[in-house]
Chain A
Amino acid sequence: MEMMGIERDRLHMSWVSSAEATKFIDVVTQVTEAVRALGPNTRFVKQQAKVA
């Protein structure tokens, strides 16, 4: 994905067990921060045909 031009911080991958609540919160916080820092996504956005 990065090779194709998706920004490095746009896509995240993580492994969180259902018992790891704290880790889940950490990951979500980190991901939101990283993605927010990048601003709105402009790539891989498909424009839908406008319906009246």
Chain B
Amino acid sequence: MLGYTEKMRGIASRLLKDCSVEMVIGFRKGSMPMMNEPCFVTTIEDVPSLIWDSNCGINLANYLTNRKEKIAVFAKGCDSRNIVNHIIENKIKRDQVHIVGVPCTGMIDKRKIAGMVKGEILEVSETDDTIKVKTADSETLFEKTEVLQQNCTLCIHRNPVIHDEMVADPVEEQTSLDRYADIQKIEEMESEDKWQFFEDLLSPCIRCYACRNACPLCYCPTCFVDESKPQWMGKGQDPIDVRTFHFLRAYHCAGRCTDCGACERACPVGINMRLLTRKLEKDCQEQFGWEAGLSLDQRPALDVYQTNDPGTFIK
């Protein structure tokens, strides 16, 4: 993905200059290593702040919700699928977005890297397939494949599914992956162990809702957790309330989640809440042959009735 930055700046300048868009959404360098932040460019002078590397894991579709102006957005495979969701769900119009496709070779996992080196990370640089991490007293070189976010190691749609132009030629897709090995392991557990597994998984949750806020699917004006009339659930850290939040959030993403990993990435305590959304993703695939956000012409699995829909759970 080296060299994308220059091309992106070129594309952004062109689009802003000929006034075909009012805003370009991309990334700029964050204040800490591996923490690029979304960037909204409206003038040509600001174009040089745009960058691209393996720290652009935030899902930019999240910033398109209910926008009224004409926007260009840089979209990785997963972002593009969430843009498709957004268009289907009437959160933005197709002719309002100029989608600049970004073939993606995966984003790196900042938490994993922090756990693999000693001391504070001062600088992270990369080549096409290596990542160099500098701390005060050491320099470590990793293969990019060892430090990818888990969702990226499992990604089978690295190339944008929808685009108006592309930053580069498509990359090779990953094939023959066992995408649900970890989910299967949980499914095979005894009921009691499952309960305990999720107790442990969710116990560090501080209900900060960063996972919800990072997700492009979570655009309700008032989230069910924030409602007070009626109040659907407690607002504290009672384990039952935490669990209710998590499983309901996952259900709200059923048939829509693209496993972009933005939720897990945003979590300050490193909870893998994707285990819940991926279970639903797996179910959607097995029962309805449905993968979210692949086409504008197909209604989502939970939005249509087909006579061959499985119904054995209804007695």
B186 touches A46 (CB 8 A): no
Question: B247 — which chain A residues lie within 8 A by C-beta?
Answer: 1, 4
B314 CB, nearest partner CB in chain A, Å: 5
C-alpha spacing A48/B198, complex, angstroms: 21
Chain B interface size band reads 20 to 34
Q: What is B's interface to A at a CB cutoff of 8 Å? A: 186-187, 191-198, 234, 238, 240-241, 243, 247, 276, 279, 313-315
Interface residues of A (CB under 8 A from B): 1-8, 12-15, 27, 30, 43-47
Q: State in angstroms the CA–CA spacing of A12 and B187 once bound together.
A: 19
Q: How many A-B residue pairs have CB under 8 A?
A: 44
In the bound assembly, the distance between CA atoms of A1 and B240 in angstroms comes to 13
In the complex, the answer to whether B314 meets A5 with C-beta atoms within 8 Å is: no
CB-contact partner of B196 in A1, A5, A13, A46, under 8 A: A5
How would you classify the secondary structure of chain B's contact residues: helix, strand, loop or mixed? helix
Cβ-defined partner of B238 (8 Å) among A5, A12, A43, A46: A46
Contacts of A8 in B (CB 8 A): 191
Q: How far is the CA of A46 from the CA of B238 in the complex (A)?
A: 8
Residue of A nearest to B201 (CB): A4
B315 to chain A, nearest CB (A): 5
Which of the residues B187, B240, B276 comes within 8 Å of A44, measured between beta carbons? B240
* Chain A neighbourhood of B315, CB < 8 A: 12-14, 27, 30
Contact B314 A6 (CB under 8 A): no
Interchain nearest-CB distance for B180 vs A (Å): 12
How far, in whole Å, are A36 and B275 apart by their CA atoms in the complex? Answer: 31
Q: Mind listing 11 A-B residue pairs with CB under 8 Å?
A: A2-B194, A3-B194, A3-B276, A3-B279, A4-B243, A4-B247, A5-B193, A6-B191, A6-B195, A46-B238, A47-B238
Please name all residues of chain B whose beta carbon is closer than 8 Å to the beta carbon of A30 when the two chains form the complex.
Answer: 315
Chain A residues near B186: list those with CB within 8 A.
3
Chain B residues lying within 8 Å of A3, measured Cβ to Cβ, are 186-187, 194, 276, 279
* Cα–Cα distance between A25 and B279 once the two chains are bound (Å): 34
Cα(A44)–Cα(B247), bound, Å: 12
Which A residues touch B192, using CB under 8 A? 5
Q: Residues of A contacting B314 with CB < 8 Å? A: 13-15
- In the bound assembly, the distance between CA atoms of A12 and B195 in angstroms comes to 18
* Given A12-B315, A13-B314, A4-B238 contact (CB < 8 Å): no
Whether the pair B191, A45 counts as a contact (CB closer than 8 A) is no
- CB-CB under 8 A from B198, the residues of chain A are 4-5
Partner of A7, one of B191, B193, B240, B313: B191
- Most chain A CB within a 10 A radius of its CB, from B186, B234, B315: B315
A7 to B247, CA, bound (A): 16
- Closest-CB distance, B262 to chain A (whole angstroms): 22
Q: Using A14-B314, A30-B315, A44-B240 as known contacts, say yes or no to A5 and B234 having CB atoms under 8 A apart.
A: no
Nearest-neighbour CB distance to chain B for A45, whole angstroms, equals 7
Q: What is the minimal beta-carbon distance from B236 to any residue of chain A, in angstroms?
A: 10
Q: Which residue of A lies closest to B202 (CB)?
A: A4
Bound form: Cα–Cα A44–B239 in Å: 9
Distance, CA A46 to CA B234, complexed state (A): 10
- Of the listed residues B191, B234, B241, B279, the one surrounded by the most CB atoms of chain A closer than 10 A to its CB is B191
**Given known A-B contacts A44-B240, A44-B243, A5 and B197 have beta carbons under 8 A apart:** yes
Q: Across the interface, which residues of B come within 8 angstroms of A15, CB to CB?
A: 314
CA distance A2 to B193 in the complex (A): 11
